[in-house]
Chain A
Amino acid sequence: MASLPQAPPGPGRSIPVPRPAPPAIARVRSRRRPSGEPPPLPRALAASGKFWLGLSGVVLVMWVVVVITGTVTVFDVADTRVLQAISELRSPGLTPVMEALGVLATAKAIHVLWLSNLILLVIFRRWRHLFVWVGVGLLVANLGAFLALALQRPRPYEVEIIGGWSGFSMPSLPMTVLAAFLVSTVYALIPSGTWRTRGKWAVCALLVITAASRLYLAQDHPTGILAGVVLGVAASLAAFRLLTPNAVYPVRYSRGRPAHLDVSGERGEAIIRALHDQLGVLATDVAPFGLAGSGGSTPLKITVKAADTAGSEESSIFGKLYAATHVRSDRWYKLGRTLLYGRLEDEKPFHTVRRLVQYEDYILRLFSDAGLPVPHPLGIVEITPEREYLLVTEFIAGAKEAGDAEVDDSIIDQGLSIVRRMWDIGMAHRDIKPANLLVRDGTLFLIDSAFAEVRPSPWRQAVDLANMMLVLALRTDAQQVYRRARLQFSDEEIAEAFAATRGLTMPSQLRRMLRQQGRDLHADFLRLLPYRLPPVRIQRWTWRRAGLTLVTLVSAVILAAFTITILGSPL
């Protein structure tokens, strides 16, 4: 447990904050996961993925063996006999049909498939799938071309080729790319379940039809087609299974922020199992909760078995599910803020999910130990090592957001006391907004300590005070809040708070609510002050900001050039 800094008495009077005990929940003995046992939600390739990867390994080994032993003639002869037998079926009526059936393996069709997927994935903002799609497309197209050049197998001998072709024939590049693109389409655009299974069968049928067409037209050797399909399917299957596992990056067409993870099915079961094993909590249901107010994690209301003394059978706890996507979002968010506002926040991004969750849990425990009215921390649960963690706390049941609740002098005093106490222990919350201040039975709770900071800049602490006063004034007025604030803060401290706070230093929810009310509370507070301090400058250029801006611009140009390049046909 972290020790708290003992702050000397401040200039103001800190009013004690009541902090009710959390509801009792049933606990059982937790269980340590033995070495070798998979985590609650393991990332797996699945049997079919392993099968296809194994098959592609066999193909690669066979190529090496054939090249070393010089037995390519055996395959040439076998392939030629098959193609000759098929060519016996050629007829003036059948040939146009087979030409039409092979349209998917033409450069134009593959280009259309490539562009339409890219456009759809951009429209649906499925960035992860888009990057994997592009990666698989480039990898397969270049790997296929590279292998064809390395193996240098000519086109089929002794049979008239009556369809278009290009380059060497092993593996069949159009079939390799087509197989990879079709499988990628299924995994990137079709939700898992029945529809995806149907999609896989459709892909199978399309590949068989296209292969039949190419064999009829003698464009490829049978073994070239087989090798191409195996490579294409294996590469895309492995990439999507490993990099966009359905449990983490589900394909869905319902509205919702991409940051929010699907907690139904496999992940929901894993959470329940993990809570039981790691915290000894008997969870019965996991459901998303308050998604609208959260963009950086997936907030959950977890129904658990209540303690025998609780008087009811069920109780609830709160969970914040963090995944690798949230760490990336956090990184982009902080980069964006650094570029836009300079050294406003003066902070570095997290690099792992574990660190992010550990930090928030630590902050929560600091607040809790300092007597601040925060939810009682219950611990961290590992769902997938290094990828997904659940931060578990008390659930503040029956509470209202400060923007909707009744706010009286007692609530105002509690809110101001929270800021005073944070100042005393050298901390800042940095996200004081109506959604993070809950009122229940005359008690104010402070939630969401994700952005909180130990030993922040004095400017940041001052902003906390101004934001708290603005939130409290939403349901009252500036005069009432100012009057109560003077009991705990000096005029100078309040003046500094409002000199530091304006526009973008307020959380967007607070700004939106102020706009909706049509009141300029900030100006009201300024009018009440006996004197004003000059506004604190928030646009600060540093070498780091300048460098980052330059690197970002160069990266954007490179990305644009790369995007233009990949828009061309992959064949």
Chain B
Amino acid sequence: MRRRRRWGAVLFALAGLLVLPGCIQIGGTLSGDLVACKEGDDGTPSNGVVLMAQAVSTASWVPCLEGMPLGWHFSDMDVDRGSARFWLDSDRDGMHAIEIRLTRSCFTSGATEIPSDRPEMRRLERVSQVTPLYIGRRYYLFAGGCITVVFRLSGENRGEPLAVATQGLGAVPRDELRAMVHEDSGGRLDLDPPTTGEGGR
């Protein structure tokens, strides 16, 4: 009986360990590898990137993380059918200082188009507030989708941290993900359903 009680205590402690971090924030245990553009020895995109591709099945590009500048951390990820988001925290500019969204389309009213730093993508920017917080959006429009970078910076230096942070932001072509899934499954599976199979909808 004593042994059973001890087991009960161990189970209870384990349950507590599992429950309490969840109550606080399970995302706190995440790392940037979850949405890495290149992961492991193969240097292939991580499963989080594949999941984002599944969320927006039309998107020809999928956002990912090339690497994290000093002082920035991957924070959280939320992928649903139709949209995918992840956040970056900054030591100086606060929690969720930058949010990266992937959606089928974007509402770009009021944004100004500027020369794009990425191939096959148009870039637009809209700064809605400069002080006390630096708030705005950057859009990357491409075939079948849109990546939105939502920034909300509270530090003293505005443009610089944004530039540094977005340097770590990458994008993987959908074709690369298709090829990866096909190769990983020994040629037996594809990322997307056949275009003719529209189901019963």
Could you list which residues of chain A lie within 8 angstroms of chain B, going by C-beta atoms?
A: 39, 43, 73, 76-77, 80, 87, 90-92, 94-95, 135, 138-139, 141-143, 145-146, 149, 152-155, 157-168, 242, 385-386, 562, 565-566
Contacts and interface: CB of A to CB of B under 8 A. Distances in A.
A39 B4 CA distance: 14
A157 B80 CA distance: 16
B91 interface: no
Contacts of A91: 200
B18 interface: yes
Contacts of A142: 18-19, 21-23, 26
A165 B57 CA distance: 13
A158 B190 contact: yes
Given A43-B4, A149-B29, 6 more contacts: A73-B186, A95-B201, A138-B19, A142-B23, A154-B50, A160-B198
Given A142-B26, A152-B48, A80 B79 contact: no
Contacts of B197: 87, 159-160
Contact of A92 (B51, B185, B186, B200): B200
B176 interface: no
Interface string B187-201: 011111110011111
Given A139-B19, A146-B18, A146-B26, A76 B189 contact: yes
Contacts of A155: 51, 54
A526 to B, nearest CB: 53
Contacts of B121: none
A145 B48 CA distance: 14
The 4 tightest CB contacts between A and B, nearest first, are: A142-B22, A90-B200, A152-B47, A160-B193
Nearest to A219: B81
Contact of A94 (B48, B51, B193, B200): B200
Contacts of A162: 199-201
Contacts of A152: 34, 46-48, 51
Contacts of B191: 157-158
Contacts of B19: 135, 138-139, 142
A160 B47 contact: no
B199 A90 contact: yes
A95 B19 CA distance: 37
Interface of B: 1, 4-5, 8, 15, 18-19, 21-23, 26, 29-30, 34, 46-48, 50-51, 54, 78-81, 181, 184-186, 188-194, 197-201
Contact of B22 (A39, A95, A138, A158): A138
Contact of B80 (A43, A158, A164, A386): A164
Contact of A73 (B30, B185, B199): B185
Contacts of B81: 161, 163-166
A84 to B, nearest CB: 9
B54 A141 contact: no
A252 to B, nearest CB: 25
Nearest to B24: A565
Given A152-B34, A158-B190, A76 B185 contact: yes
Contacts of B30: 149
A92 to B, nearest CB: 5
Contacts of A141: 22
Contacts of A92: 200-201
A218 to B, nearest CB: 9
Contacts of B188: 73, 77
Nearest to B189: A157
Contact of A95 (B26, B181, B186, B200): B200
Given A73-B186, A80-B189, A152-B34, A143 B201 contact: no
